């Protein structure tokens, strides 16, 4: 099969991709840990699977930023990786696709499916998780200490068959296979990049996203997986509506090792039976609320004419920043804005840009609040509990302050944004208690 490597531009980063096959639907393969598009063809096991998938679909494969043939300058956040996938899809004119998320590729696939349901027809997840490390309410991952020890091992042993006993224990007695494993890893990433990828993956938590995944979903996992416990897959299947869980025999985490046919038989059967989904009426979005602090007092002091002029300038500046950060204006009521974003990190940065710009150019303070959740689509509007939560979070903010829900904080792991804990709060009309964080300005200490 003759396949060429091409590049899509995602921001300032070049993302390497390959397209093979010409079936009736597109399948986007999101790799795990690290990958190398061209080295994949040198492995008989990998090339056989690529050719098999390409026989019934148009297969779109990519190397994530920081690894393989993509730009190595940055590892990127979960949100940036999602943008990279979208850039590749746009480059190959793929309007809709099924997704195959392998291991660390699972969380990004889940986030993409919830954020862009209109572009996602189905989702197959293998050897993956919603949260990598242990937490009191998620006791399925490795503890932070165990994970740190694993990262130290990766860095010190990189160059040899590092962690083959964890990723692919069935190869342990095959010296040549271990040598090929080590060679592939060296091509796919440097030791620093490998550790950075794994460190960022350890910060990911997409549990909040799972109820918003509404496309047909298949969860595959080997029962003895030594890297990712089978309970991670069971949690995913319980948390995603109508997800199908298939538990397979074996201890290998790598899908290329052991009984690979058992995995890809299930994938092929699942995907070839997929039908086009109906136009979605619910979508995952990050909502941003802003309003002018002490607007009533300011209006009274200025008078009607000057207040209207100030509001007009306010609206112009806010809309300019929304456009710059790819936000969509949903509603404007008096001195407040409701906007939606398909990426939470951009939403937080937009909120900071708005607060700074309005203070510097108009001398007014605004407060901002953000939440990420599943919203109802009502023509061009958004509604639902997520919108109410965003409004309540904004109401807690002080002058010039940007507050976010815990969901937003979890989803921007790896983005470089920093937060300050503002405690638990009861949000009027919203069940339970909600933890709120202040998003700090980049120069804050």
Quick: pLDDT tens for 380-414.
889 999 999 999 999 999 999 999 999 999 999 88
Residue-level pLDDT at 131: 95
**Over residues 212-231, mean pLDDT:** 96
User: What percent helix, strand, coil does the chain show, rounded to 5?
Assistant: 40, 25, 35
- Residues 162 and 82: their CA atoms lie apart, in Å, by 28
**Over residues 165-174, mean pLDDT:** 93
Query: From the CB of residue 13, how many other CB atoms can be counted at a distance below 10 Å?
Result: 20
Residue-level pLDDT at 279: 58
Residue-level pLDDT at 185: 95
**Over residues 42-71, mean pLDDT:** 94
Residue 257, pLDDT above cutoff 60: yes
Rounded alpha-carbon distances, angstroms, from residue 122 to 214, 218, 276: 9, 8, 9
**Over residues 145-168, mean pLDDT:** 93
- Percent over 70 (pLDDT), the chain: 97
Residue-level pLDDT at 76: 82
Query: From the CB of residue 226, how many other CB atoms can be counted at a distance below 10 Å?
Result: 15
Fold equal for 6-272 and 282-439:
no
> What sections of 11-103 are H helices per DSSP?
37-40, 44-54, 78-91
Residue-level pLDDT at 280: 66
Bridge partners of residue 382, in order along the sequence: 377
Q: Which token pair is 283? A: 């979508």
Residue boundaries of the structural domains of the chain:
6-272, 282-439
Query: From the CB of residue 145, how many other CB atoms can be counted at a distance below 10 Å?
Result: 10
- Residues 165 and 60: their CA atoms lie apart, in Å, by 30
Residue 1, pLDDT above cutoff 70: no
**Over residues 50-64, mean pLDDT:** 96
Per-residue pLDDT reduced to its tens digit, 309-353:
999 999 999 999 999 999 999 998 878 999 999 999 999 999 999
**What crossing angle do the helices spanning 144-157 and 191-203 adopt, rounded to 10°?**
170
- Residues 274 and 285: their CA atoms lie apart, in Å, by 25
Residue-level pLDDT at 141: 87
Sign, CA dihedral 75-76-82-87, equals: negative
Q: Do 437 and 418 touch, CB atoms closer than 8 A?
A: no
Higher pLDDT, 280 or 358: 358
- Residues 123 and 109: their CA atoms lie apart, in Å, by 8
**Over residues 26-44, mean pLDDT:** 95
**Averaged confidence pLDDT in the chain:** 93
Bridge partners of residue 123, in order along the sequence: 99, 217
Query: Which among 243, 149, 136 is positioned nearest to 195, based on CA atoms?
Result: 149
Query: Could you tell me if residue 294 is left (phi over 0), alpha (psi between -120 and 50 degrees) or otherwise beta?
Result: left
Q: Which token pair is 6? A: 């091409």
Residue 263, pLDDT above cutoff 90: yes
Residue 225, pLDDT above cutoff 70: yes
Residue-level pLDDT at 200: 87
Rounded alpha-carbon distances, angstroms, from residue 87 to 50, 70, 83, 84, 367: 22, 13, 6, 5, 33
Residue 276: pLDDT band (50, 70, 90) is low
Residue 149, pLDDT above cutoff 60: yes
What is 6-272's CATH topology?
Answer: Rossmann fold (3.40.50)
**Over residues 2-22, mean pLDDT:** 95
Residue 78, pLDDT above cutoff 90: no
113-117, 323-327, 429-433: least confidently modelled range: 429-433
- Percent over 90 (pLDDT), the chain: 83
**Over residues 201-215, mean pLDDT:** 92
What is 282-439's CATH topology?
Answer: Alpha-Beta Plaits (3.30.70)
Per-residue pLDDT reduced to its tens digit, 345-378:
999 999 999 999 999 999 999 999 999 999 998 8
- Residues 90 and 14: their CA atoms lie apart, in Å, by 14
Residue 148, pLDDT above cutoff 90: yes
For residue 426, with 0-12 CB atoms within 10 Å meaning exposed, 13-18 middle and 19 or more buried, which class applies?
A: exposed
**What crossing angle do the helices spanning 78-91 and 105-115 adopt, rounded to 10°?**
70
- Residues 405 and 437: their CA atoms lie apart, in Å, by 6
- Residues 211 and 246: their CA atoms lie apart, in Å, by 19
Residue-level pLDDT at 445: 34
């Amino acid at each position: 099969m003759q396949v060429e490597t091409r590049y899509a531009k995602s921001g300032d980063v070049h993302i390497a991709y390959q397209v093979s096959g010409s079936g009736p639907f597109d399948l986007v393969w999101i790799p795990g840990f690290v990958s190398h598009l061209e080295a994949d063809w040198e492995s008989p096991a990998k090339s056989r699977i690529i050719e098999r998938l390409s026989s019934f679909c148009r297969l779109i494969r990519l190397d994530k930023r920081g690894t393989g043939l993509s730009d190595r300058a940055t590892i990127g956040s979960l949100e940036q990786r999602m943008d990279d996938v979208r850039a590749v899809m746009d480059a190959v004119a793929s309007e809709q696709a099924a997704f195959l998320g392998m291991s660390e590729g699972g969380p990004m696939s889940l986030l993409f499916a919830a954020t862009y349901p209109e572009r996602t027809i189905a989702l197959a997840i293998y050897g993956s998780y919603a949260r990598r490390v242990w937490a009191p309410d998620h006791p399925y991952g490795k503890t932070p200490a165990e994970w740190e020890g694993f990262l130290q091992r990766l860095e010190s042993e990189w160059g040899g068959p590092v962690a083959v006993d964890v990723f692919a224990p069935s190869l342990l007695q095959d010296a040549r296979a271990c040598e090929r494993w080590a060679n592939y890893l060296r091509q796919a990433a440097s030791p620093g990049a490998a550790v950075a990828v794994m460190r960022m993956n350890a910060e990911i938590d997409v549990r909040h996203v799972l109820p918003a995944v509404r496309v047909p979903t298949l969860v595959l996992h080997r029962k003895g997986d030594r890297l990712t416990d089978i309970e991670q897959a069971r949690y995913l299947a319980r948390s995603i509506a109508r997800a199908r869980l298939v538990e397979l025999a074996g201890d290998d985490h790598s899908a290329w090792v052991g009984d690979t046919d058992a995995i890809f038989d299930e994938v092929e059967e699942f995907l070839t039976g997929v039908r086009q989904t109906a136009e979605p009426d619910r979508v995952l979005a990050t909502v941003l609320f802003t309003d002018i602090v002490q607007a009533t007092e300011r209006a009274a002091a200025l008078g009607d004419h000057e207040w209207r002029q100030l509001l007009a300038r306010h609206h112009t500046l806010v809309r300019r920043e929304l456009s710059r950060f790819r936000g969509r204006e949903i509603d404007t009521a008096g001195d407040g804005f409701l906007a939606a974003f398909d990426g939470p990190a951009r939403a937080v940065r937009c909120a900071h840009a708005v607060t700074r710009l309005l203070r510097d150019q108009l001398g007014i303070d605004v407060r901002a609040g953000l939440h990420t959740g599943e919203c109802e689509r009502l023509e061009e509007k958004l509604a639902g509990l997520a919108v109410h939560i965003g409004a309540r979070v904004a109401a807690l903010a002080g002058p010039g302050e940007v507050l976010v829900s815990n969901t937003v904080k979890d989803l921007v792991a790896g983005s470089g944004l920093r937060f300050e804990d503002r405690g638990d709060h009861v949000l009027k009309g919203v069940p339970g208690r909600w933890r709120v964080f202040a998003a700090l300005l980049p120069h804050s200490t």
